[in-house]
Amino acid sequence: MMLKNQSLLCFSLALLVSLLYSTTTLAQLSPASAPAQPPPTPTPPAASPKPLVPSLPESPSDSTPDSTPAVDIVGILRKAKSFNVLIRLMKTTQLINQLNSQLLTTKSGGITILAPDDSAFSELKAGFLNSLSDGQKLELLQFHVISDYVSSSNFDTLTNPVRTLAGAKPGKVELNVISYGGSVNISTGEVNTTINGIIYTDKHLAIYKVGKVLLPMDFFTVAKAPAKAPSLAPEPSADTAKAPKADKDTGSSSDSSAQVNPTEENSASVKISVYGKWVSLGLALVAAMMQN
C-alpha cells in the first residue's frame, strides 16, 4: 500500500513537471505579440487657394449652404453699409429683379457684382447721374455685373475684355481685369480702380467692393467727338452767279432808258416848236386876209 501511494505521487509529480515543461516550450515557440500601434494621425485638409483680395470686416463667412432658397442682394449690401446709392439705383432701374431672377433659375455659374460704395459715387461730377437717361443708368449698373461667378482666387483666369450684363460693344463697353501680386486691377478705358475687398461670396454669387464707379467709354464718345471744322462758304450756283450779271444788265438797261429819255424829250420839244411855227403861220395868214 505504501509503495502504491509512492508510485502515484511520483506519477503525479512527473505529470506536473511535463505540463510545466510543455507550457514553457509553447510560450517560447509562439511569436511575440506585436506592440500596439498608435492611432493614425489625421492629415490636415489641403489649404484652399489664397484669395487675391482681403475680406471686409463685415463680410459673412464663405460657408453659406447651398440649400439657401434665395439670396437677398439688397440685404447683403445694407448689412455691409455705405452702399445706399447703389441700392437706390438697383431699385429704380429694376436691375435687382433681373439679378434675383437669374440667381433663382441658375443651376451652374452665377453672377459677380462689382459694387462701388457711396464715397465712390460722391467722386463723380456733380449732376452726372441726373444727366443720364433711364437706359443709361441701367447700362451703367449692368456694366458692374459680370455674367458669371468669379471666386476671389480666379480673377487671373478671366479673358479680356470681360463680358458684363451691359453686352458686347467693342471700344465702348469693355471691362479689362488684370490680377497680379495679390491685387486685382480693373480698367474701363476711362476709369482705373482696384478691388478693395469681399462683401459676400457663395457658390453662385460674389460681391466685391471697388474703389470707383466703372464708367464705360460709351458715355464719353459723344463728349470727346472732335469738333467739326468750319465749313467753307458754298460756291455760288449757276443761277446765283448769273444774278450779278442780270443786275448789271438791268443797270445797263436802266442807263440806256435814261439815255433814251433825253432823246424823247428833244423830239417832243422839236414837235412843239414845229407846231408852234405852223400855228403862227396860220394866224399870220388869217390876219392878212382880214386886212384885205
Contact criterion met (CB below 8 Å) for 153 and 182? no
pLDDT of amino acid 135:
92
Look up cell 461670396; give the residue: 201
pLDDT of amino acid 74:
94
pLDDT of amino acid 248:
46
Taking the C-alpha atoms of residue 237 and residue 184, their distance in angstroms, rounded to an integer, is 63
Q: Work out the angle at residue 170's Cα, subtended by the Cα atoms of residues 169 and 174, and round it to the nearest 5 degrees.
A: 80
For residue 131 the three cell numbers come to 444727366
pLDDT of amino acid 197:
93
* Cα separations in angstroms, 144 against 22, 29, 66, 187: 89, 81, 25, 12
H-run or E-run covering 114: strand 111-116
pLDDT of amino acid 189:
86
Category of 133 on φ-ψ map: left (φ > 0), alpha (ψ -120 to 50) or beta: beta
The answer to pTM > 0.85 is no
pLDDT of amino acid 22:
57
pLDDT of amino acid 99:
92
Averaged pLDDT in 10-residue chunks for the chain of 292 residues: 63 66 52 54 54 48 50 92 95 93 81 96 93 93 93 90 82 82 89 94 93 87 48 52 47 44 50 59 67 58
pLDDT of amino acid 2:
60
Residues 6 or more apart whose Cβ sits within 8 Å of residue 205: 71, 73, 103, 110, 111, 112, 113, 149
